[in-house]
Structure 1
Amino acid sequence: MYKKLLTLLLAVASPSLFAQTITQRNPEIAKLVSEVSSDSLENYVRTLASFTSRHTLNRDEENGMPAAQRYVLNKFNEFSKQSGGRMTAEIENFTIPADGRRITEDSPAANVIATLKGTNPADDRIFVISGHMDSRNKNVMDADGFAPGANDDGSGTAAVIELARVLAKKEFSATILFVAFTGEEEGLKGATYLADKAKEMGWNIAGVLNNDIIGNSNSSETLISDNLKMRVFSETIPAFETEQMSRQRAYTNAENDSKSRQLARYIKEVGERYVDQFEVKLIYRSDRFLRGGDQTAFARNGFTAVRMSEMNENFYHQHENVRVENGIQYGDLPEFMDFEYLRKVSAVNLASLSSLANSAGIPEEVQIDVRGLTNKSILLWKAPKVGKVKGYYVLMRETSSSMWERKFFTTETTLTLPYSKDNYFFAVQSVAEDGEESLAVFPSPLSR
């Protein structure tokens, strides 16, 4: 009797405990997610790891970096046959200048890039999915020793290849770049080259999903085994922040609302919508503690970029020579990877990328009215420059919450909510005709 009464009281007092969450999936995206194959990913990783070394400075045409780059290019070209001419691929050569550290003299290098051209001529947005294909041993200057680099970062490169395979046949409004970078271990050289080129040429890079070390589910030392979570790293204060941006960030308390943080939230929401039995963890750092990745080069140039990574790293199989020592097998070998886990991380990437590339553009000139003291919040914005919308979501969360908690739909370009801006944060995102949502835009204050 007591248990029945307690259950009834809880139901009356706390209806939210029993609230249902409705998940709506786009059937087309769900089908694409189902096509991501752990077998295909394993095949790519094992092939990449079979080259003696993928060190950036390795010039072995038969069994080194050049051969591995041709392999990735051949896969891209194979998949491009499904695209109706919309996908093209190339090895883009460049020179890494000597830096007096890990590059002792000017050295040739190359990125391997597949471009899936968007179908909307008015949509100049570019979304980038990337990983780095160079590997290394404990001595970063060892260009010739056996360095399989299965997980670091054969896993990220494999995800890029697999997404190119699945998405080549699909049409998207925006353009997608599938990039296998070179020179990450030498100081983000390939990513820096492409990010600088994008900035110089005025490319509208709307989001970078960088994948680095995404195929292992077992940690060293702590012995944690968990294939149910992944991490997304996003910067708090933009690397390119100007003095004016800094003042507005401080004025609006937007430390947790950088563009990269909005992308990370988007990936969590969409990834968990389409990938079952999986949690995307938001990490409030631009990368792991005192470490970096290729997304950093894009962030420095003002682009929105995040890093995708496994939840628990195993340092016996990262930046280590292949050997057995004290009964422990060291080295970045394929047999220490979890390819079902890699499939899940790849699927999160695919769902997020597909949704973004077919979304309408972000709402323009998003503002929150602060011209008077009121307990209501008035938001105003303009329609996006690209795409047709059926409406907008005004997002709301408590200041202590990491994720948006409520979505208010409207077909207008303004909405007044009976919630105080002193107690909540807001943002606005557009909703395309087929339901795909844009990235959220944090409002600037409208004071006069």
Structure 2
Amino acid sequence: MKLSISMALLSSVVCSAAFAANPSYHEQEKLHDIAAAVSPERIEQDITKLVSFGTRHTLSETASDTRGIGAARRWIKAEFDRISEACGGCLEVYYQSEVISGETRIPEPTEVVSVIAVQRGAVDPSRYVIMSGDIDSRVSDVMDATSDAPGANDNASGVAGTLEAARVLSQYEFAGSIVYAALAGEEQGLFGGRIMAEQAQKDGWRIKAVLNNDMIGNIEGINGVVNNTTARIFAEGTRMNETESDARRRRFTGGEVDSPSRNVARYIDWMADRYIPNLDTMVIYRLDRFGRGGHHRPFNDLGYPGVRIMETNENYHRQHQDLRVENGIQYGDTLDGVDFDYAAKLTALNAVSLASMAWAPSPPAEVQIKGAVSPDTTLSWQAPSNAEADLVAGYRIYWRHTDAPNWEFSRDVGKVTEYTLENIVIDNYFFGVASVSQDGFESPVVFPGAAGAFGE
């Protein structure tokens, strides 16, 4: 009995030590300023303008200045150009395109054109975080390129949010680069995302997070729920490009719920709790909605961390529908189905997440762990690059119970490349490491081994 009491007391001490090691979060006033700067009025203006083009179908008119996908993408580029002019040329704005043909939804040669704006980082410009929305719209027949397809929520809301994030964040300078992308060809097969992801890979972009925004303005669900206080973050588990040897290791070390995408999702959820009033985000352990897809998937396919941010309660009467009234039900994706304050709230969530990651150092590379048959757990990681040597103040180790969805405990360990957590048994927890900047911004958490690696 005495032995049992002693062991219980020891366990209590260890647990208390873990909780005591959890540092107080350094509040970032700049992130509050960024969230407050997002304007529902500007988002409404942008969505209204995108709807005014009648249809933005990938196969629609390209010569007109007032109707079709061509007019829409030229207007988007002009807006990015105006934003860049206002910040002294801080954005590199360009079209990115490829001719697609022979596809089920693009049978004839068609130029799929996205609009990209890059805000280069001052310290580590080859490191990128990306926010995206989709330009194109559709009605019931995915091949109908002439009927009116307003696409107010799907997905003028995501493009408007991306433009607004660029307006707000372009007033700041960051360590890493931020990309704002209006991607084309989503409804016809995720072509804009594929083109961008493949080009980024060729160009050696070190992408640490893709925040795909697809439908961020609806609060009235087909389920009868009206709610402007929640949002969903979809994040895949095991990497699409995991090797057989990585899978074998993961079987013994874990990592199924700690892919880079999942830890980016946790990071965004963490930002919502701290900087976006009256918003609770749900991290969904799935690539996307059941059996459906979005423009983060082509990035995931190449191994890049990427998530989908969107409303919680969808209204299928407003998605992919001909404009009509049938049995007393109004169908179609029109302006009256968008809540602009809600779209601004989700845009602000994107903006603070992008800013925090871009101000923070790169997530630690080569994170490893050991501690089998030991009372202690040791983590190690690579020293920061020469470019980031002065940016990094130190590192923070996180751990949680294996059935806990979010990180529970943490400890600041200084500017080292190895640290041992004494009397914290490796078998009982999942672990990770984040980089912390001199002014307290931290990267997403990196789970040890290939399963959690964000790449170089």
Q: TM-score, normalised by structure 2?
A: 0.90
- Are positions 1:229 and 2:230 aligned together? yes
| Partner SS for 1:214 | coil
Hey, what's the Cα distance between the residues in 1 that align with 2:134 and 2:159?
Answer: 6
| Partner SS for 1:159 | helix
Q: CA deviation at 1:369?
A: 1.4
| Partner SS for 2:434 | strand
Give the corresponding residue for 2:246: 245
Give the corresponding residue for 2:95: 91
Q: CA deviation at 1:84?
A: 2.4
Q: CA deviation at 1:24?
A: 4.0
| Partner SS for 1:124 | strand
- Are positions 1:160 and 2:159 aligned together? no
Decide whether the 8 Å contact of 2:269 with 2:282 is kept in 1.
yes
| Partner SS for 1:54 | coil
Give the corresponding residue for 2:298: 297
Decide whether the 8 Å contact of 2:95 with 2:114 is kept in 1.
yes
Aligned residue pair count: 424
- Are positions 1:444 and 2:445 aligned together? no
Give the corresponding residue for 1:6: none
Change over 3 Å in CA distance of 1:338–1:22 after alignment to 2? farther
Q: CA deviation at 1:114?
A: 1.1
Hey, what's the Cα distance between the residues in 1 that align with 2:247 and 2:24?
Answer: 38
| Partner SS for 1:281 | strand
Of all paired residues, the percent bearing the same amino acid is 40
Change over 3 Å in CA distance of 1:279–1:24 after alignment to 2? farther
Give the corresponding residue for 2:392: 389
Hey, what's the Cα distance between the residues in 1 that align with 2:378 and 2:96?
Answer: 48
- Are positions 1:107 and 2:110 aligned together? yes
Hey, what's the Cα distance between the residues in 1 that align with 2:188 and 2:336?
Answer: 26
2:59 to 45, 57, 60: 57
Q: CA deviation at 1:23?
A: 5.7
| Partner SS for 1:350 | helix
Hey, what's the Cα distance between the residues in 1 that align with 2:213 and 2:401?
Answer: 30
Q: CA deviation at 1:86?
A: 2.0
Equivalent positions of 1:1-150 (< 5 A) are 24-60=26-62, 61-62=64-65, 63-99=67-103, 101-120=104-123, 122-150=124-152
Aligned-residue CA RMSD in angstroms?
1.8
Hey, what's the Cα distance between the residues in 1 that align with 2:381 and 2:108?
Answer: 51
Give the corresponding residue for 2:217: 215
Aligned-partner residue type, residue 84 of structure 1 = G
Give the corresponding residue for 2:432: 427
| Partner SS for 1:152 | helix
Hey, what's the Cα distance between the residues in 1 that align with 2:163 and 2:261?
Answer: 24
- The one of the two structures with greater contact order (alpha-carbon pairs below 8 A, sep at least 6) is 2
Hey, what's the Cα distance between the residues in 2 that align with 1:300 and 1:265?
Answer: 20
Hey, what's the Cα distance between the residues in 1 that align with 2:127 and 2:97?
Answer: 24
Q: CA deviation at 1:71?
A: 1.1
Decide whether the 8 Å contact of 2:38 with 2:347 is kept in 1.
yes
Give the corresponding residue for 2:7: none
Residue segments in structure 1 that go unaligned for 5+ positions in a row: 1-14
Hey, what's the Cα distance between the residues in 1 that align with 2:36 and 2:143?
Answer: 41
Decide whether the 8 Å contact of 2:23 with 2:410 is kept in 1.
no
| Partner SS for 2:215 | coil
Hey, what's the Cα distance between the residues in 1 that align with 2:407 and 2:316?
Answer: 35
